Structure 1
Amino acid sequence: MSEPATGPVFRPLGPEDPATVAGYRLAARLGAGGMGKVYLSHTPGGRPVAIKVIRPEFAEDPEFRRRFRQEVHSAQRVQGLYTAPVIDSDTDGPTPWLATAYVPGPTLAAAVAENGALPPRTVLMLVAGIAEALQVIHGAGIVHRDLKPSNVLLASDGPRVIDFGIARAADTTSLTASGVSVGTPSFMSPEQAAGRDVGTATDVFALGLIAAFAALGTSVYGDGPSHAVLYRIVHEEPELTGLSEELRPLVTRCLAKDPAQRASLTDILGLCRSAADQTQLRRPEDWLPQSVAAGLAQRPAVPGPVAERAAGTHPVTAPDHPVAPPAYQPTVAAHPPAPAAPPTQPAYRPTPGPGPVTGPATAAPAGPYGGPYGGPYGYPQPHPQPQPHPQLHQQPTGASAGRRAGIIVASVFGALLLLAGCGAIVNMLGDGGKGDTARGSGGSAATPGPSRSGGTQQPRTDPKPAAYKGFQFPAGYHLEFGDDPLQPRDSNYDDLYFSCGSSSRDCALGAYGSKLVVLDGSEQGSLATCRAATRYTGRVDVASLSKGSELCVRTKAGNIALVVYGGASAPSDPSQYITVDVTVWRGAVRED
């Protein structure tokens, strides 16, 4: 999903292209790929963004949508210097899409196709930048799975890795079994080619292939039919003839057939520094060769934001959540209804935030740059003015005005009677004026006290704990503490995930929506302690834990878990996992 290797950078929209996507006005088409099309647009402040619109075939697959939602949620946490961050998305609308920062530079594939192989110094800077990007991506629990030259952009200040995590969403859909391939054969790892499980070491193999491609100008496993390329990746050694001596150790370490034998990202950065004969890599502005830098300088200027097109030039996407018509429409016989005024701004897409919803879904829509709080950095978005209904907002005259006044008075009086009746029913069905009853087992035992309704709140008991001793938690999986029995789930989502980089030194426990607290030696793990602790974090390095270390996890669903670390698997073990004792109190978060 990036620009083509050849041809214009900014292509005009065609008849099949939409004019807008959820309020973003499209200025040009950037490219297309196996999962959809990419368009250029702008934020309300004028910053260019790349809008990636998912293909209809994927959008219709429920499993794709589920994984796409998870992967986009994870990708929004990635904010590295060498990544193009995800700043907006819609994973639930009729056509899923996401917006990333636009990077003004060619893909590595386009640069090599136009200028040939890159010099070793540039390749070292390229590999170091991609390795730093992968550290951030893997730290968020994501495996790229489709790292290739067309997913690496060359900017004047370094490379940018794009499309991280998206391939995973399509990897298990029904489409992959019917001819839609995920990943590029020439840049797949042996485990991908053989259909085995993939991990962070898969991206390391792809990084080695990218380094060799950039230095040699061709794939080290050759071209041809996909099945032939994949066979060579699994069973044959790469063709590294012509690779410079400073790059050969780096590429060889990355292209080990066994994932456990591949270099870690930390090792890769060290190898880059050694090859460059520097204790610290310095990225000057002239890190690219003159031919590529000249191409950057000669690239066409980014088209500016476009004004609203005239009707009929291109199809315009409808709002994702159309507003329902009013329930009551009085008839006005004196005059025909006046036409509604045309909207003065694009329809905005409602984006529910993480907080409690205080009104209808259409009451507080987010703008086209809408993140979880109205914008990705917390800025509020303007609310569109409601369009007047042509009949409800006519000025009544004569008998029509009298009828309307009578209707309004009757409606208000009826509403007051209804509210009074509801209050009486609530009192009759309540506890006789004694206040709220116990809210189930979700709270702790307490003495009676005033409730929200002014009565006395009854004592509540703590939920019974569910214990899981010696639980083996594999890398690349997550736990949902509502499950009973507890089982590892195959994705990188809540309530608690365990992920590893290329070596056991890079392992971490983390959460996206849950709150984690590492207890110190003076605290005894218990429900009361986990309720009171507020030293929240989202990630804990396993290397910082010792046997017996305790973590509290408080989930969005209201569950509390105490996780006691018991140790990690041996390096010789074919599976990478940690052993933990887990105690779960389901529904333990009190609603005071």
Structure 2
Amino acid sequence: MSTAPRERVPRPGEPEGPRAIGGYTLLAPLGEGGMGVVHLARRSDGQRVALKVLRPHVVGDDETRSRLAREVASLRRVRSRWVAEIIDADPWAPVPYIATRYVPGLSLHDEVAREGPVRGDDLSWLARCLLEGIAAVHEAGVLHRDVKPSNVLMEGRTPVLIDFGLARVADDPKLTQTGWLLGTPGYLAPEILYGDDPTPAVDVHAWAATVAYAATGRPPYGRGPSMAVMDRARRGEHDLDGVPSQLREVLDAALSPEPGRRPTVDRLLAWLRGHGPAPIARAVSAPLPPVPPTPAPIETMPLALFHDELDALPDGMPDAETRVEPAPWDVPIAPEPAGPPGFSERARRFVLLAATGLTAAAGVAAYPWAGLAALVVLVWLLRTGSLAASMVGERRRLRGAKWYDGPRLVLGAPWDLLRSLPATVLLALWACGLAVAAMLVCYAVAAAPTVTLPVAGLVLVGSLWWGPGGSRLRSPVNRVVRPLSRGLRGWVIALAVVVALGGLLGGLASSGADWLPASGAPLSALGD
């Protein structure tokens, strides 16, 4: 039991101030689940933690609290740089809580969605560190049982495993009556779906599925309804296309529907550390060896119910420039090192985006009316496409891909154009207002038209990019710029085309703007 002080109750008439639980000041909610709520909290010494506050109706009687106390005692033994450990807990407090290390960082799920698949040495580093964290959990006599991309936090190249400790509590009526599933479809081992007792092999299966997601950017068993995903897992129908060949063989073995065919954590770690051969899948005709007996894991409280993604990174972790070890597989999946983009790739993205913005501004300076109209129409189309793609993606997430998604997208284009029009008009008016303000400033300082129009064009382009609703513009543009910036050849070609077009439009703008379809500049008649 924790020795932390109990929650202080304000006296009558005394202002409440920040709410406190067990000596922790609650700063902000981080997530909510069936078992309770997670808060960002601060201890009296200033350390920030993730405070998991249990719901009283879930942990209400002495028997359940005693069980929670035993589970917390087992979880306290988990100590690893790759795991967000438990710092403090008090199951007997009026409001029971568990405090874990708080680490601000993106989950692997969000990191891959934002930056693309992990590749090369970065993938080797991720696979090894994640498995080191699982091994540390197993050494404490605990099974994680919910390893998945949203339970892996990334700080640069370094993964941190969170929410370890899912218990064998399927018989607990407090949980089963709510329909809670012990695990996540797509990362849940097939034997659990059959009702078999879990072994360390379940975490090996989940590790392989998580690494496959990191390497490809997609779940190995696809998307769609949970029943369909679980059926593919039971059949062993996983998709590993795009994974390096030797790693693909190892993941294929680790994703076997038969737990006895999966390599052990020790064999996998030996290979990832470069001290052993690659664990390859056994031949189907080979007899299955008996599963070695393992000590029953100590039951642990299902911490993963509190939230799906906890932005956490433990203290003492290596920074983003941590040196990674060479990958144990030899065949690269790209002609050049990739993965989470480094400084050079980010710099290429910035240069290409900046050149594109300057070219758009030069077009507005050379042909103010025509350029403005073309820019607004382009923004309208891009925002419409982004909105339509989001709707299709949401429908696919809920009920899987359908053959009629494409025709439906085309037939719904008129409605999508209409839906995106009000926000596009608002964005255009906002950007035009700022551009006019920039022109007035240039007029006040007596700037020449060849200076005023480019400045107004830059303000217009920047306002459209960062203005209200600009995310619908940035998303499709980045989808084009990111793949072009990954390779040097494609980036050079794209940049050359953009620079050539920008130079042409800039030369036209320097010789005077063409106000087509108007006959002259606005208010030019006042100067006659």
Superposition TM-score, scaled by structure 1 size = 0.43
Instruction: Please state which structure has a larger fraction of its residues in strand.
Output: 1
Superposition TM-score, scaled by structure 2 size = 0.47
Which structure exhibits the higher relative contact order, with contacts defined as CA atoms closer than 8 Å and separated by 6 or more residues?
A: 2
Instruction: Please state which structure has a larger fraction of its residues in helix.
Output: 2
